[in-house]
Amino acid sequence: MFKAILINKDEHGYHAVLSDVDEQQLPAGDVTVNVLASTINYKDALAITGKAPVVRSFPMVPGIDLVGEVLQSDSARFNVGDKVLLNGFGVGERHWGGLAQKARLDSSWLISLPASLTPENAMAVGTAGYTAMLCVLALQKHGITPQHGEVLVTGANGGVGSYAVRILTKLGYQVVAATGRPDESAYLKKLGAVEILPRSQLSEPGKPLQKERWAAVVDCVGSHTLANACASTRYGGAVAACGLAQGMDFPSSVAPFILRGVTLYGIDSVMRPLADRVQAWQHLSEILSPEDFNAISQVISLDEVIDTASALLAGKIQGRIIVKM
Ligand code: NDP
């Protein structure tokens, strides 16, 4: 038996509980791992609380991220004792995920844990930090350098936003952080933000073209915030859109794209090919240090997961949660 958060939808409704699960119930897969650490992302919180239809089959173990030690392997890529890292690929949505002491997985979803990261470091980063890195890599590939000017990060106190602020700062960019929690300015300044913008300056309907300010943007929020960010991006600049915390809508016009040559990059982390994941994690392990992980994350245990998921959706959690098994 092993412990897992188990989500069920039955005559009692939608509910998540910490349960003892029989190993026989583990799903099919060619690699079985002892989960060493996992985390709670926004999507995990939606799955656990049932606030959005993230879970596609029941019962489900949530947890889109995990670091595990291989217990059994039928894959030529991994041996017993290897430490492996997983982000996304529908795990925690369609296939049992990381918020459990054990997991059985498809080896094609796994990469090796970078040697310089501990399991806790990697889960302090998780999908949030890995997505932030994918956003930054898209902006760099576009040719945005620190000399081009200020970079806006929206939803800055969240997991993706915190990492975007930290990574960009460490790479030498001037970061302006937009947040609905201006009382948390000290945290954002510690991560490197040079200026804090109140969320309200971006979240209301705005003009299709506004004063040019941003060389680039990492947007975790969507909706009017993304529209206003595009409308105030400088000629030839780039916007990396990865989130929908304000909304899935995009009430914009084509003006920033056809009159200022602004490029909007859509960033998906879930189905990203392995080569991109390895590259992103290599950069993360080189750019970030243990001090960064400590500044951005807090550790909880499996029995605190359900309460913490509700707090995360209520916007009460700063940075990242590591779940240590
Ligand atoms: P968090 O909950 O940690 O952070 C979201 C942040 O968004 C909050 O901290 C808050 O920042 C801001 N926010 C929340 N509600 C609103 C609102 N109504 N209007 C404006 N801002 C708001 O989530 P994550 O950082 O983990 O994820 C951020 C977004 O990115 C989510 O939408 C998530 O689904 C998405 N995502 C997408 C991925 C992909 O592959 N594309 C991967 C990972 C995440 P503040 O308090 O600073 O205002």
pTM for the full model? Answer: 0.95
- Name the residue of 221, 224, 317, 318 whose CB sits within 8 Å of the most ligand 1 atoms, as the mutation to test its pocket: 221
Q: What is the pLDDT of residues 176-198, one digit of tens each?
A: 999 999 888 999 999 999 999 99
- Name the residue of 43, 86, 87, 242 whose CB sits within 8 Å of the most ligand 1 atoms, as the mutation to test its pocket: 242
Whether 260 and 296 map to the same domain: the answer is no
Q: What is the pLDDT of residues 222-247, one digit of tens each?
A: 999 999 999 999 999 999 999 999 99
Whether 75 and 150 map to the same domain: the answer is no
Model pLDDT, residue 77: 97
Whether 218 and 299 map to the same domain: the answer is no
39 lines ligand 1 (CB under 6 A): no
Whether 56 and 101 map to the same domain: the answer is yes
191 lines ligand 1 (CB under 6 A): no
Looking up residue 295, the CATH number of its domain turns out to be: 3.90.180.10
272 lines ligand 1 (CB under 6 A): no
Whether 102 and 223 map to the same domain: the answer is no
268 lines ligand 1 (CB under 6 A): yes
Residue 166 has, within 13 A of its CA and on its CB side, a CA count of: 32
Per-residue pLDDT of the chain (325 residues; tens, 9 = 90+): 999 999 999 888 999 999 999 999 999 999 999 999 999 999 999 999 999 999 989 999 999 999 999 999 999 999 999 999 999 999 999 999 999 999 999 999 999 999 999 999 999 999 999 999 999 999 999 999 999 999 999 999 988 999 999 999 999 999 999 999 988 899 999 999 999 999 999 999 999 999 999 999 999 999 999 999 999 999 999 999 999 999 999 999 999 999 999 999 999 999 999 999 999 999 999 999 999 999 889 999 999 999 999 999 898 888 899 999 9
Is 154 inside a domain boundary? yes
Q: Give residue 32's identity as a one-letter amino acid code.
A: T
Distance CA 188, CA 162 (A): 7
Q: What is the ipTM of this complex?
A: 0.99
Helices 305-313 and 42-49 pack at an angle, to 10 degrees, of 110
- Nearest-CA residue for ligand 1 atom 31 is 243
- Nearest-CA residue for ligand 1 atom 36 is 243
Tokens matching residue 104: 């059985």
CA distances from 151 to 7, 106, 254, 290, 314 (A): 39, 38, 21, 24, 27
The range of the structural domain enclosing residue 83 comes to: 2-113+291-324
Residue that finishes a domain, picked among 266, 282, 305: 266
Contact of 289 with 117, CB cutoff 8 Å: no
Is 245 inside a domain boundary? yes
